[in-house]
Structure 1
Amino acid sequence: MAVKLTERAADEVKRFRKEHNFDENMLLRIGVAGGGCSGFNYTLNFDDKFDDKADSKYDWHGVEVVVDKKSALYLDGTTVDWYESLEKQGFTFENPNAVKSCGCGSSFQA
């Protein structure tokens, strides 16, 4: 399985990239890092580097997504979406590997 990006999330990535004048060749890197109140934090960054030995690459709705192999162990099957309401907006992660997550949704325990 892969890390999936919904069409709504892909549209937001494209909007952000255009608004900040990022090159179209910049990849969206999704990963995990130690920390947060539950053990791991989700990371989203733009990157111009891809290592075919250390990374996996996917194309979702015209956005190239890169995940390093270590993060892929924790993110396999995860869907990244964009949520927007009057109270808040941001990317959400639906991760089937998370056994516990914090109230803010930005960290998890596997």
Structure 2
Amino acid sequence: MFAIPGKNPVTITPAAERQISRLMAGKQSVGLRIGLKKGGCAGMEYTMELAAEAEKADEVVEQGDARVLIAPMAQMFLFGTEIDYESGLLESGFKFRNPNVTDTCGCGESIRFEPIEGTRAQES
């Protein structure tokens, strides 16, 4: 939908590739769908779910045995994002390094993007 020829909209680190592959195999899914929804202190939150099938408008990124499906409404906000998986003593999970994010909340769970030109309401 918003593709740049010859360039994947997101990159997947080897650690994320391994984890996505494990999750897909465990649930027999076709991929990990990522998206965005309104919520959190900063205004937006990432969403992730294992998908039983790809939707027609999903952007599909494949790497090894891992497949990421990008929901249509999130595609323009995720260009250039690196998806990583970090495993630590107290916390493990996917990390999104998104160059389009302009602000995050204190806990790092929600994000904000600059409004797209022409979408901000005119102030009188």
Letter in 1 for 2:19: E
Q: 2 CA distance for matches of 1:59 and 1:2?
A: 11
Give the paired residue count.
106
Residues 1-110 of structure 1: matches in 2 within 5 Å?
1-18=8-25, 21-23=26-28, 25-52=29-56, 54-110=57-113
Partner deviation per Cα, 1:36-95 (whole Å, 9 max, x = no partner): 11111011111123233x211110232111112210111111111011222211111100
Letter in 2 for 1:12: Q
Partner deviation per Cα, 1:4-60 (whole Å, 9 max, x = no partner): 221101111222344xx311x4211011111011111011111123233x2111102
Q: 1 CA distance for matches of 2:97 and 2:83?
A: 7
Q: Which moved more, 1:89-98 or 1:68-77?
A: 68-77
TM-score in terms of structure 1 length:
0.85
1:33–1:41 contact (8 Å) kept in structure 2? yes
Letter in 2 for 1:13: I
Q: Which structure exhibits the higher relative contact order, with contacts defined as CA atoms closer than 8 Å and separated by 6 or more residues? A: 1
TM-score in terms of structure 2 length:
0.76
Q: 2 CA distance for matches of 1:29 and 1:77?
A: 17
- Quote how far apart the aligned CAs of 1:3 are: 1.9
**For the pair shown, which has the larger CA radius of gyration, 1 or 2?**
2
Q: 2 CA distance for matches of 1:36 and 1:22?
A: 28
Q: 1 CA distance for matches of 2:54 and 2:69?
A: 7
